[in-house]
Structure 1
């Protein structure tokens, strides 16, 4: 199934979704939410001002979330009636339940702890792989401090880097400093 034409070109939350004759259910929910976000009175239902403001904010949040996903993800959340339901559904789908999330954290922590630089691997490639692990842990709510990440990198560098590692660890600026991001592209093994 191809993506709807307006999804392929990009979307805007300021323009109504365009129906191209395909994916009606996808368009229908998006159009309904767009209309409600624009003006809840468009459905000719009487609410007091406080209700209308809450409803409009809810639909704006829902619309922005729906515009941020494609048709496959949309099919997963199309029955959700609020932005919170959509968010929770996507979160559970992609992060899993609390138990699944904890298992992912355990697996990633183990990968981090056992991480080694491979023979013939460049510093850049090694750091990219390590960053992928630490970024995923961060997104799951288990950040690893930059200090620990730098120490990890310094510990796993090959013997040929021994003098550089020694110089870095002995440098005055290194002790207690905010490490920021090293530029691992500059030198390769």
Structure 2
């Protein structure tokens, strides 16, 4: 790749490439490569957002995930948080924090374009993690779509429906097919879709607990 003319930052592997208001696409590729060379997890943080330690808590009969208090952070939590701040620091050094530093200020529209591109990448690469609840998945996805809306890049509700259905684990395939066949995505509300998925999730968990109980009982009988 040929270097753009008038590029202000030097070709050093010890500091991130600096965005000088121009050649955004070129700079984005350089920044991606720089972060990957530093630590591939840094780019994951850029796409997925910073790590937030969580813990399980009983909410009636359900178990939900809540943010973990700082005093309960373990060493693994602290290391992941440190990586998040490292990724943020490298990005700030790459775009220049403000006009009072040695870095030249970037144009508002260029910064906005950068933010839109980064948040869009997070949206496109977002997936529901194994063992994650429908509630937690939708909370994270809503945070991303709300951020895009605030940047003037709203995602249509129909596309959001399709996104939710596509990121569900393979074990949900039959349920997804049933929803697509039975519902008109153009008139279906997000609350109705998420409510439907949560109900199915509760039924699946109940059936699983019954199977586990039956299995334990069978093992006890064999043992006796």
TM-score of the pair, normalised by structure 1: 0.45
Q: Taking structure 2 as the reference length, what is the TM-score of the superposition?
A: 0.38
